[in-house]
Amino acid sequence: MEFGITFKGFVSPDRARYLVRQAETSGFSYCWFYDSHILWRECYPAIAMCMEHTKTMRFGPCVTNPKARDWSLAASLWGSLALQSGGRIDVGLGRGDSSVRVMGKKPATIAQMTEFTQKVKAMIRGEEVSYGECPEPVKFPWATGYELPIWIGAYGPKALQAAGEVGDGVILQIGEPELLRWFSQQCFNAGEAAGRDMSNFKVQAAAPAYFGSKEDCIEATKWFPAMVGNHVADIVEKYGADNPDIPSSLTSYIENRRGYDYSKHGQSDNPYLDFITPDIVDSFCVLGTPDDHIAKLQTMQKAGVTQFNIYLDNGDEENIIAQYGKHVIPAING
Amino acid sequence: MEFGITFKGFVSPDRARYLVRQAETSGFSYCWFYDSHILWRECYPAIAMCMEHTKTMRFGPCVTNPKARDWSLAASLWGSLALQSGGRIDVGLGRGDSSVRVMGKKPATIAQMTEFTQKVKAMIRGEEVSYGECPEPVKFPWATGYELPIWIGAYGPKALQAAGEVGDGVILQIGEPELLRWFSQQCFNAGEAAGRDMSNFKVQAAAPAYFGSKEDCIEATKWFPAMVGNHVADIVEKYGADNPDIPSSLTSYIENRRGYDYSKHGQSDNPYLDFITPDIVDSFCVLGTPDDHIAKLQTMQKAGVTQFNIYLDNGDEENIIAQYGKHVIPAING
Amino acid sequence: MEFGITFKGFVSPDRARYLVRQAETSGFSYCWFYDSHILWRECYPAIAMCMEHTKTMRFGPCVTNPKARDWSLAASLWGSLALQSGGRIDVGLGRGDSSVRVMGKKPATIAQMTEFTQKVKAMIRGEEVSYGECPEPVKFPWATGYELPIWIGAYGPKALQAAGEVGDGVILQIGEPELLRWFSQQCFNAGEAAGRDMSNFKVQAAAPAYFGSKEDCIEATKWFPAMVGNHVADIVEKYGADNPDIPSSLTSYIENRRGYDYSKHGQSDNPYLDFITPDIVDSFCVLGTPDDHIAKLQTMQKAGVTQFNIYLDNGDEENIIAQYGKHVIPAING
Amino acid sequence: MEFGITFKGFVSPDRARYLVRQAETSGFSYCWFYDSHILWRECYPAIAMCMEHTKTMRFGPCVTNPKARDWSLAASLWGSLALQSGGRIDVGLGRGDSSVRVMGKKPATIAQMTEFTQKVKAMIRGEEVSYGECPEPVKFPWATGYELPIWIGAYGPKALQAAGEVGDGVILQIGEPELLRWFSQQCFNAGEAAGRDMSNFKVQAAAPAYFGSKEDCIEATKWFPAMVGNHVADIVEKYGADNPDIPSSLTSYIENRRGYDYSKHGQSDNPYLDFITPDIVDSFCVLGTPDDHIAKLQTMQKAGVTQFNIYLDNGDEENIIAQYGKHVIPAING
């Protein structure tokens, strides 16, 4: 199983420089960054910086989108990073959330995401490519033939289908094993229907990890189901309500949320928190003692997860990486 | 006098890593990169990389343009580089040449260049800014108040005026002292007319430098007047023909070129080279022995040049930097 | 108050490279290494390595001795490290313990330690120096005038006197405030008696720090009083038994140990642990919550301690450094 | 053919940091340092520093000696450097010249050099070793089994015999192909007589290299035959006068020197220079155009040389390394 970390946008450069080395030394092989240039910072200077302090770690945005920059600029950026790091760049791709909405723009369509995937990979490979807004076709004279791995972030059935059809992997923002199996299976089905060899298709579960008492862990990570929960619930409610794979805790969560929807007017500032029970936080994240982490990761691994990517958004980064290096990664990978 | 180097786009990352350290150790304080993401590579990964291998060196594109990337993206990129380098980023700005033409797009207007300068500086400073294509105003919550120095690349009177009115400096792609004086004076006049304090306004002469016999030097650098010569001649012919500051060698060059324009059809592949005499190459560049370099730089310094930026496009980079470090910079700066 | 860490000899180079950056970023200004080339490794390659990954951190052995290497070799080594780090090397000096005993050699005398201090400082400064085993006087043509700070590790009255007379500081391997005051006062008295200005004399308390429940902390750090306790007790018993500054917990410890001495034959493998009560461990170390650390350090500071040097020998290095950076150092230094 | 550089002792740390990267990028695989801690600086801090700025470059003293430091200290130093560089340390060993003479001590005997080679290799490998001045046998608990390559610097027949019997290679301070063949053959003969497999035995020619007119080259490198010439001549005169392999230029040199010996009283400050003809300088070094270097190195390669180690003592280091990277190394190694 691969292990990754995701840096939040506000990590200081001085901390990032040593945390990325700590992670590499501790057995992590991926370091992802939020790509949201207004709320956080443009992440590629930090990626280029961290590459200079590591030898084998791979990097990438988690996730970027087709609206953030001109496509040839995006391809040149990632191709340049590939060249100067010895091929250590991947890309996580979504339709565009905070980074486009904050500018008053709309997310990309799934068709645009698919086309972006194919054309950016082709440009970096060195092919001549025409794309939407650019009057002339583009070809990089300096291309080295690098094959950029693109992971597609998805929940909904059409995005999962696209991930299976054109992606090198899927990014699933959740730690719940049954949902991970149910979501990723849709990618495999789509890929196989399209005639692809899916044996190397990668499945990333991206979620917070935290050590300590369950109470402390839930307090530190409840922001995560608050952020992704409604989105997941919408999907499950719409497409998977009668699916026997959907865990019962999530079913109750959906029921509670539904009730809540009828009476939301009189709520406090963060009304959603009422419906995010400790069980839901626990199922969405990886929490507790090192042994708890190991047990949950083994279940996730059985559900097909090939990479666990820790959202390092909770403080305590040094300790989380250290615990994974000392206890969790050796137990999982032997 | 400040000294800078400009890396060509194809410099290998391994060479750039040591050349930038060699330059810093040798007394150079600026390292510029071509910003032309299709012909060369996106330069900011290389800038971020080089920042990790230096302590005081300042970096920047020479030159970027307002069409290359969304303005908030550009501002976030440079703001991020400022933050992680301890404030070691400047920007050289033009209207857009190879990097926009190769995509079939048109250069920016001077008005766009002026607006870009003001709005990008404001965004990086932390102000809320509205700009053309963006539906919502943009404000970086992470801004640190950094004041981005923007140097404007110019030859024509309107661009020189803009540089004087809104720029922190001007970039003049030529090594000829009288033209440098004539061009830069237009910036000072415009700035003073606009009520600015011009005492810290910077004047950069960007040109090749080369050591060896005059023949070898001219052979290695004649590409430079070929690249910028017609552009300079157009300007001089249009605005400065009767100006006593214009050196006689350039006047003859303009005459020769004019004759040439009438008969160009039957020429060989590089007909322009016929009109670029050794004298013109010598006047546009800095060539010869260390003492020749020192003498020319003293003249340029008297003409108001505050930075000599060497276009490192001629091979022999290690030796050029070493000669400047051992002989030229100590002689000029004591 | 300055903060330091001491690396144990077995820290892996990959961990040391990031831990030292973490410590610098977290507010530590000293990084010490055990100097015992057979049991651990020769520490100067690691010091030189860590210097390349830091900007302001100071380094040094804690502690070396006059018997480990030829004096001119020692002086050249430290002078070279000073030169290539921009003057970031100090030396901690003792009479020689594990590093000499393991070779079957005897520790240096206090007179040798004093002479070593003076002659090594003089050689690094650039003076011509004659010393014991060397037939010819030695002078470094490359000396830069660096003034090497030498801290003397001491418990006994004669070593404390030497520290006060010729050292730039004293290293006291204990965290107990009253003993720290009593020991360091002897240095100040000796220095003042010798006519030195003692206003910049430095007092380092070197001891383990640990976070968690008192039980966990004591389990993790009881090796420390076991290592230094008999030594401290000998000194207190011999010279300070009737001193009102000696804390009562230590007085009982000495009483217990004395009784123990009469009946030691029938003991288990680690009989000394019977007499090291949790109170003794707690008084020798800095243990508990961040607030406990802050409170103890404030007491130590009032007792005259200018640097707290954490012996990082207990696992959990990343977390200890992180807690100091987030909570303890800001509380102490504002 | 391997290529190496040797840094003189006075190279500034800032220059060494980039020169070693330049050399690695240019195809050099060894970087040697003078080991003479009084005249120059202790070289191991610089070696550890340079290791942090390179990935594959190997390092070592050229040459150290058995008298410079306690043998367990030397072994711990080199074992530590091996550990933190991923096994990138070799040792060049001689009897001790400037570094022992300047202290008024005598060089080691060849027997001591042989014993040092065997015992230091054993200690680093992890064996328990007893040696001269150390009362107790020494064993490094942290040893990793690293096999330290030791190259022996030699001219005389007994030292060459020792190199063949116990060394991993020989260091010959001369660039003259016939002498290189004659000297190295003595190593092979001795090794084979001792029953060793000599197929991997390495032969290093260490000499200056310089580019430019022959006059400039000879002016810049004549210090080298002045330094090593009498030594070489003594050996040739004593053991090889009637050997048909000895080149005629050297024979005349020996004759001239002999005549000179009779009349030396009335000479100027550097009388030896009278007998070092341009031919001798040219034969001892590698001089001229890139093509001249290539031709000479091909002859040296045919004479059995496996590494050419450039003494970088002549200024112009950046240019020499660059010329080798651009022209010479590609021509020799394809």
Per-residue pLDDT reduced to its tens digit, D141-190 = 999 999 999 999 998 999 999 999 999 999 999 999 999 999 999 999 99
Given an 8 Å threshold on Cβ–Cβ distance, is B142 in contact with A40?
yes
State the residue for tokens 């810093």.
B24
Q: Write the DSSP symbol of residue D106.
A: P
Residue of A nearest to C25 (CA): A14
Q: Give me the domains of chain D, ranges plus CATH numbers.
A: 2-211+289-333 (3.20.20.30)
**Separation of alpha carbons B260 and B271, rounded Å:** 9
| Rounded average pLDDT over A92-114 | 91
The tally of CA atoms less than 13 A away on the side-chain side of residue C204 is: 33
Chain C closest CA to D245's CA: distance in Å? Answer: 42
- Could you read off the pLDDT of C25-53 as tens digits, one per residue? 999 999 999 999 999 999 999 999 999 99
For C83, the token pair is: 């030169």
Bridge partners, residue A7, by sequence: A33, A312
**Separation of alpha carbons D39 and A126, rounded Å:** 55
- Could you read off the pLDDT of C182-230 as tens digits, one per residue? 999 999 999 999 999 999 999 999 999 999 999 999 999 998 988 888 8
Assign D310 a pLDDT band (cuts: 50, 70, 90): very high
Residues of D in contact with C49 (CB under 8 A): 48-49, 51-52, 84
Residues of C in contact with D142 (CB under 8 A): 9-10, 40-41
Instruction: Quote the pLDDT of residue C273.
Output: 60
| Rounded average pLDDT over C270-299 | 88
Cα distances (angstroms) measured from residue D245 to each of A237, D9, D198? 92, 35, 22
Chain C closest CA to A305's CA: distance in Å? Answer: 28
pLDDT at D266 over 50: no
Bridge partners, residue A211, by sequence: A288
Assign D26 a pLDDT band (cuts: 50, 70, 90): very high
Mutate to test the interface with D, among B22, B31, B57, B314 (most CBs of D within 10 A): B22
ipTM over 0.90: yes
Provide the percentage of residues in chain B whose pLDDT is more than 90: 78
**Separation of alpha carbons A194 and C303, rounded Å:** 75
pLDDT at D269 over 70: no
Mutate to test the interface with C, among A25, A317, A323 (most CBs of C within 10 A): A25
Instruction: Quote the pLDDT of residue C259.
Output: 63
pLDDT at A121 over 90: yes
pLDDT at A65 over 70: yes
Q: Is the dihedral of CA D153, D158, D160, D165 positive or negative?
A: negative
**Separation of alpha carbons C36 and C16, rounded Å:** 17
Helix (H) or strand (E) holding A288: strand A286-288
Q: How many residues does chain A have?
A: 334
Residue of A nearest to C14 (CA): A25
**Separation of alpha carbons D47 and D310, rounded Å:** 17
Residue of D nearest to C14 (CA): D84
Instruction: Quote the pLDDT of residue C262.
Output: 41
Phi, psi at C60, each rounded to 5°: 175, 165
Assign C178 a pLDDT band (cuts: 50, 70, 90): very high
B144-149: Cβ within 8 A, 24+ apart: B144/B79, B144/B82, B144/B83, B146/B79, B146/B82, B146/B83, B146/B87, B147/B121, B148/B78, B148/B79, B148/B82, B148/B89, B148/B90, B148/B91, B148/B120, B148/B121, B148/B124, B149/B90, B149/B91, B149/B202
Burial A100-135 (b: 16+ CB within 10 A, else e): bebbebebbebebbbbbbebbbbbbbbeebebeebe
Averaged pLDDT score across all residues of chain D: 92
Q: Which residue among D18, D319, D326 sits closest to B18, beta carbon to beta carbon? A: D18
Q: Which residue among A25, A316, A317 sits closest to C18, beta carbon to beta carbon? A: A25
| Rounded average pLDDT over A276-289 | 94
Chain C closest CA to A161's CA: distance in Å? Answer: 41
Given an 8 Å threshold on Cβ–Cβ distance, is A318 in contact with C321?
yes
Given an 8 Å threshold on Cβ–Cβ distance, is C22 in contact with A22?
yes
Residues of C in contact with A15 (CB under 8 A): 25
Report the C-alpha dihedral over residues A89, A92, A96, A98, rounded to 10 degrees.
Answer: -80
Q: Which residue among D14, D15, D318 sits closest to B318, beta carbon to beta carbon? A: D318
Chain A closest CA to B116's CA: distance in Å? Answer: 17
Q: Which residue among C12, C21, C319 sits closest to A319, beta carbon to beta carbon? A: C319
Cβ–Cβ under 8 Å, residues C93 and C82:
no
- Could you read off the pLDDT of B133-149 as tens digits, one per residue? 799 999 999 999 999 99
Instruction: Quote the pLDDT of residue B41.
Output: 94
Residues of D in contact with C136 (CB under 8 A): 102-104
**Separation of alpha carbons C262 and C253, rounded Å:** 15
Instruction: Quote the pLDDT of residue D262.
Output: 41
Mutate to test the interface with B, among A10, A42, A65, A72 (most CBs of B within 10 A): A42
Cα distances (angstroms) measured from residue C161 to each of A311, B94, C150, C191, D318? 55, 70, 14, 7, 53
- Could you read off the pLDDT of B259-277 as tens digits, one per residue? 654 444 333 444 556 678 8
Q: Write the DSSP symbol of residue C26.
A: T
For D221, the token pair is: 């490198």
Chain A closest CA to C223's CA: distance in Å? Answer: 22
Q: Which residue among A17, A316, A322 sits closest to C21, beta carbon to beta carbon? A: A17
Instruction: Quote the pLDDT of residue B260.
Output: 57
Chain B closest CA to A139's CA: distance in Å? Answer: 7
Extract the runs of DSSP E, i.e. beta strands, from chain D: 2-7, 30-33, 58-61, 91-93, 150-153, 169-172, 202-207, 209-211, 286-288, 307-312
Instruction: Quote the pLDDT of residue C263.
Output: 41
**Separation of alpha carbons B129 and B125, rounded Å:** 11
Residues of D in contact with B321 (CB under 8 A): 318
Assign D260 a pLDDT band (cuts: 50, 70, 90): low
- Could you read off the pLDDT of A139-162 as tens digits, one per residue? 999 999 999 999 999 989 999 999
Q: Which residue among D12, D15, D322 sits closest to B318, beta carbon to beta carbon? A: D322
Residue of D nearest to B323 (CA): D316
**Separation of alpha carbons A34 and A44, rounded Å:** 10
**Separation of alpha carbons B222 and D324, rounded Å:** 26
Kind of pairing between the strands at C202-207 and B58-61 = unpaired
Given an 8 Å threshold on Cβ–Cβ distance, is D319 in contact with B319?
yes
The more confident residue out of D173 and D100 is D173
- Could you read off the pLDDT of D183-228 as tens digits, one per residue? 999 999 999 999 999 999 999 999 999 999 999 999 999 989 888 8
Given an 8 Å threshold on Cβ–Cβ distance, is B18 in contact with D22?
yes
Chain D closest CA to B53's CA: distance in Å? Answer: 10
Bridge partners, residue A308, by sequence: A3, A205
Q: Please give the model's pTM, rounded to 2 decimal places.
A: 0.95
pLDDT at B53 over 50: yes
For D81, the token pair is: 């450097």
Instruction: Quote the pLDDT of residue A261.
Output: 47
Averaged pLDDT score across all residues of chain B: 92
Chains that touch B (3 or more CB pairs under 8 A): A, D
pLDDT at D291 over 90: yes
Assign C81 a pLDDT band (cuts: 50, 70, 90): very high
Instruction: Quote the pLDDT of residue D273.
Output: 60
SS (H, E, C) chain B: CEEEEEECCCCCHHHHHHHHHHHHHHCCCEEEECCCCCCCCCCHHHHHHHHCCCCCCEEEECCECCCCCCHHHHHHHHHHHHHHHCCCECEEECCCCHHHHCCCCCCCCHHHHHHHHHHHHHHHHCCCECCCCCCCCECCCCCCCCCCCEEEECCCHHHHHHHHHHCCEEEECCCCHHHHHHHHHHHHHHHHHCCCCCCCCEEEEEECEEECCHHHHHHHHCHHHHHHHHHHHHHHHHHCCCCCCCCHHHHHHHHHHHHHHHCHHHCCCCHHHHHCCHHHHHHHCEEECHHHHHHHHHHHHHCCCCEEEEEECCCCHHHHHHHHHHHHHHHHHC
Given an 8 Å threshold on Cβ–Cβ distance, is B49 in contact with A46?
no
Assign B163 a pLDDT band (cuts: 50, 70, 90): very high
Residue of B nearest to A134 (CA): B103
| Rounded average pLDDT over C8-13 | 86
Distance of CA A183 to the CA centre of its chain: 14
**Separation of alpha carbons D44 and D54, rounded Å:** 15
Instruction: Quote the pLDDT of residue A259.
Output: 63
Given an 8 Å threshold on Cβ–Cβ distance, is B12 in contact with D18?
no
Chain A closest CA to B166's CA: distance in Å? Answer: 25
Q: Write the DSSP symbol of residue C129.
A: B
